[in-house]
Structure 1
Amino acid sequence: MSIDRVVLAFAGVMILVGIALAYYVHPYWIALPIFVGLNMFQAAFTGFCPLAIILKKLGVKPGQAFN
């Protein structure tokens, strides 16, 4: 699995977890999916993704987006 797919899968899980926590625990948990969405938006323009940097250092195979 490439870095791109891991980042997308992780972001999707974090968004779903944040929505579930906001529904079942406290509405302020909606900040988690908002943060993930904003991070994905800025990564689309800047190419800077903290998770991609960590995964690259861990030796995950690079993809096309985060070279």
Structure 2
Amino acid sequence: MTVDNGVRVVAGAMVLLSVILTTLVHPNFIWLTAFIGANLIQSAYTGICPAAYVLKKLGFK
């Protein structure tokens, strides 16, 4: 799997997790979803993505 696909999988899983947590645990978990969205926008403009860095260290190509 490529780093780009891995980032999409991680982002999608985190969004789903945050929606589940918001629904089942506490409404303030919506801020996790907002943070993920802001991080995706920031990485599109700057090219710096923490998830991509971690996935590269884990051996994704």
TM-score > 0.5, shorter chain as reference: yes
Moved over 2 A (4+): none
* TM-score where L is the length of structure 1: 0.85
Q: How many residues align?
A: 61
One-letter amino acid matched to 1:5: N
The equivalent of 2:52 in structure 1 is 52
Q: Which moved more, 1:52-61 or 1:6-15?
A: 52-61
The equivalent of 1:26 in structure 2 is 26
Partner of 2:60, secondary structure, is coil
One-letter amino acid matched to 2:27: P
Structure 1 residues without counterparts, runs of 5 or longer: 62-67
Query: Matches of 2:33 and 2:47 in 1, distance apart?
Result: 20
The equivalent of 1:36 in structure 2 is 36
One-letter amino acid matched to 2:47: G
Partner of 1:11, secondary structure, is helix
Structure 2 residues without counterparts, runs of 5 or longer: none
- Deviation of 1:43 after TM superposition, in Å, equals 0.4
